[in-house]
A = this chain, B = another copy of it.
C-alpha cells in the first residue's frame, strides 16, 4: 500500500510513529512560516504540518505549491498538536512531514468539496465524480452498501437463495412501458429490460427453490415525474408453501433487522391496517402514522343544517390540527389555497377555531350554531386550542385531498420527523381498479395477485369489490414495499387475464410459459418487493432517491456526466437492421 495508515485513525497514542498517509488536500492554510494541509481520504482528515526551521526549505516550497484537491502522499512523524481540535477524531495530533510526493495535481474544482457546497444541481450532476467526494453524499452510499449487505445477511440466514434472473427478457404490453433492446443476431426482434423479475421468481417457485431473493435492477420507460429513475433497484423476494401471515412475519423481520443493525433503532412490532381502514382514517393507502390528526366523518352532525355544499356531498370529513386555533386569517387562507390547487382540486375549506376559552368560531357561522360546531369538535375528539378543518365532496377525492392537507399540516407543525420511523402493514387491497380511460379493470398490484378465496365468487359478478391477498409496507407516508400471495393454478390465472381484457391469444403469447408452468406442479407461493432506492433515502432521513444513487439520471432520463443517451453509428444501425425515423 502507498500508505501505512488512513486519515481517520491517528490518535494521541500514535505520537512518535513514522507514518505515510495518502489523500486529497482538503484545506490549505499558508502562514508563510507554517503551512497546514488537511489531508482527506474515505476515512477522515489528518492535519499535515510544514514549519520553517524544522521542515527543509525545499519541502516547505513544495508544500506551498499544493492546491486544493491535489493528491498527496506524505511521510512524517506523528506529533501532538498545540491547538487541539476536539471536533476532529484525529484532532489531537498532526503529522510533521519529512517527505511529500504529489501523486496527482488537480484543477480548481468547479464547486466547493465541502459538506455544504456552493454548486448548483446541474453543475454537480455534470461533475458527479466530484460531488461524490463530499462526505454527506458518500455517506448516503455507505448507508446503501450497509443496507444491501445486511439485507443479504438476514435473508441468507432465513435460507433464501439469491438467484440472478435475466436482464434481456421479453416485452409485454402490461404495466409501464418497456425499454427494448434490438437483437442483432435475430434482426427485427427485440429483448426487453425487466420491469421486475415477477414471472421468473414465480417460475423459481415452480422449480422448488422455495425461498428466493435478489437485489436487482429494474427498468421502466416512464415519463419521469420528480424523483423517478428509469433504472431502479428492488429487493425482490418470493416464498413457497406460505400464507400471507408467513410473508408478513418474514419481512417485518427484515425491516426490523435493518433498523437494528444499520441504524441501531428498535422499531418494535409493525402495526397492521386494512386498505379500507387506512382510506377511512387517513385517506391514503400509505398513511404516515408518525402523527395523529386522523379523519372524522361528520355527515351525521354537519348535514341537513342548510349548508348546501355539505348537504349535497357524499362525504363530509375533517381533521383537528392541534394547537392551531389561533392561526391568522392569512394562514387559514393559505390552507384554503392549498386545497384549491389544481392537483388537489377542492372548491373550498371549512375551518373552525376551537378557542382556548372553549368558544368556537368558523367560516360557516351563517349555517352552524356554536352548539353545532361543538358537536363536530366532540365527534373529532378535539381539544380547546385546536383548529378543525373540514372538506366535503365525492368520497374518494375528498379523502385524498384531506390526506394531502393532513400531510401538509404535519410538515408545517414539525410532526414528520426525519429521524422517526413508523412502518405499517396495509392489508386487503382491492384486486382491481377501474380505469375510466380504457373502460376496463386494471390489476391494482399485477395480474398474478390472487383474489381472497372468500371473494372468488364475485370474480365475474362484482369484480370491483374483490379483495386481494395483497399487502404493502408503508413507512412515514411512503410505500416502501408491496406484494401478494399469487395465483398458482392455470384456471384462475386464465380467468384473471380474461377479466383484465386479455384475449386468450394475447394471454398465451405473453404468459403462455407461466400458465403452462402452473400445470406442472406449482406450489402455493407469494412474495414481496421493496423499492431499495426509496428505502435507502427514507432510512437516510431524506426525500430524494437521487441522492442515494451513485450515478443517477435527470428528469429527461439523461446522464449529463457521460452524456447519454446519444446517437450511435450508421454501422451499428445497419447491423441491427434499424432506421431512425424522426417525426418532425
- By a CB distance below 8 angstroms, the chain B residues around A179 are 168, 181, 191
Contact B169 A559 (CB under 8 A): yes
A272 within 8 A of B: no
* Residues of chain A from 533 to 548 with CB closer than 8 A to chain B in the complex: none
Q: Is the CB of B41 within 8 A of A210?
A: yes
Stretch at the interface among A289-297, A359-367, A446-454, A563-571: A563-571
The oligomer's copy count stands at 2
What B residues does A128 contact at CB under 8 A? 203
How far does the alpha carbon of A241 sit from the alpha carbon of B178 in the complex, in Å? Answer: 42
**DSSP class of A's interface residues: helix, strand, loop or mixed?**
loop
Interface residue ranges of A386-435 to B (CB < 8 Å)? none
Give the total of A residues in contact with B, Cβ under 8 Å: 123
Binds B, one of A52-60, A82-90, A158-166: A158-166
Interface pair A242/B551, CB less than 8 Å apart: no
| B169 x A562 contact (CB < 8 A) | yes
Given A2-B524, A152-B149, A167-B217 in contact, is the A173-B569 Cβ separation under 8 Å? yes
Interface residues of A in 419-475 (CB under 8 A from B): none
A129 with B203: CB separation less than 8 A: yes
- In Å, the complex CA distance between A142 and B583 comes to 50
A550 in the interface (beta carbon within 8 A):
yes
Q: Does B207 lie within 8 Å of A2, measured CB to CB?
A: no
Contacts of A210 in B (CB 8 A): 41-42
Q: CA–CA, A199 to B563, complex, Å?
A: 13
A40 within 8 A of B: yes
B163 and A557 form a contact (CB under 8 A) = no
- B1 touching A246, Cβ below 8 Å: yes
Residues of the B chain whose Cβ atoms lie less than 8 Å from the Cβ of A105:
521
Question: Is A181's CB under 8 angstroms from B184's CB?
Answer: no
CB-CB nearest in chain B for A166: B551
Q: At the interface with chain B, which of A255-263, A299-307, A493-501, A572-580?
A: A572-580
Closest B residue to A524 by beta carbon equals B103
Complex Cα–Cα for A371 and B40 (A): 71
* A581 → chain B closest CB, angstroms: 5
Q: Check A181–B163 contact: CB distance below 8 A.
A: no
Chosen A-B contacts, 17 in total, with CB atoms closer than 8 Å, are A42-B208, A42-B209, A71-B521, A106-B521, A107-B519, A132-B209, A166-B553, A167-B219, A170-B564, A171-B564, A179-B181, A180-B572, A181-B181, A182-B182, A184-B221, A191-B564, A579-B579
Taking A166-B551, A167-B219 as known contacts, 19 extra A-B pairs with beta carbons closer than 8 A to each other, sorted by chain A number, are: A42-B208, A71-B523, A132-B207, A138-B208, A141-B161, A149-B162, A164-B233, A173-B569, A178-B572, A179-B191, A181-B181, A183-B565, A185-B556, A188-B580, A188-B582, A190-B567, A192-B568, A513-B561, A578-B581
Which are the 3 A-B pairs with shortest beta-carbon distances? A106-B521, A132-B207, A189-B565
Q: Residues of A at under 8 Å CB distance from B?
A: 1-3, 22-24, 40-42, 69-71, 73, 103-107, 109, 127-130, 132-133, 138, 141-142, 144-145, 148-149, 152, 156, 161-171, 173, 177-193, 199-200, 203-204, 206-211, 217, 219, 221, 223-224, 230-231, 233, 241-243, 246, 488-489, 513, 517-524, 549-551, 553, 556-559, 561-569, 572, 575-583
